[in-house]
Amino acid sequence: MTEKEIQYREKQEMKRPGEPTKSGLTFVPPVDIYETAEALTLLADMPGVTPEGLVIDLKDNQITITGQTQDPTGPQEHFLLKEYETGHFYRQFALPEVIDQGKIRAQLKNGELTLVLPKQEKAKPRRIEIKVD
């Protein structure tokens, strides 16, 4: 076993203000965010979401991630065990001013969304060189 125990987090239903306009549950995908000198990187677990079923919007310093999954079964199949929920996904984040919003990149691979949020040049840490006269 590793030093870090694996943590299992149940999918949870999202509680949003206002009346829902879509039927069914809306889930909050689990997200990890880490920072380097160059960027913030956001990793969202969205199994079953395809690029066609995923929308990422940027407006007023807020990034919104919405997606939808369908049951993978066809008309001839039925579930014997079902632990994976399907439906709508929703997550929203306020972006700090240091993010260069024109350079944000997104990739969806094997059910994991990776958003790279590059920092503006002026926000990157750097060492100041000392000149001697």
Listed by start position, the domains of the chain span 48-71+83-115
Give the pLDDT band of residue 21 (cuts 50, 70, 90): low
**pTM, whole model, 2 decimals?**
0.71
Select the more confidently predicted residue: 1 or 128.
128
* Residue tagged 């590059």 (tokens): 118
- Tell me the CA distances in angstroms from 11 to 53, 70, 75, 90, one per residue in order: 19, 16, 26, 12
Q: What is the pLDDT of residue 43?
A: 95
- For the ranges 15-24, 31-40, 95-104, which has the lowest average pLDDT? 15-24
Kindly state the greatest CA–CA separation across the chain: 82
Is the CATH number of domain 48-71+83-115 1.10.150.20?
no
Higher pLDDT, 18 or 110: 110
What is the phi/psi pair of residue 52, to 5°? Answer: -70, -25
Q: Which amino acid is at 62?
A: Q
Is pLDDT larger for residue 118 or for residue 71? 118
Instruction: Tell me: pLDDT of 20 over 60.
Output: no
Q: What is the predicted pLDDT for the residue at 8?
A: 45
Local structure of residue 91 (DSSP, 8 states): E
Higher pLDDT, 129 or 71: 129
How far is Cα 11 from Cα 30, in angstroms, rounded to an integer?
8
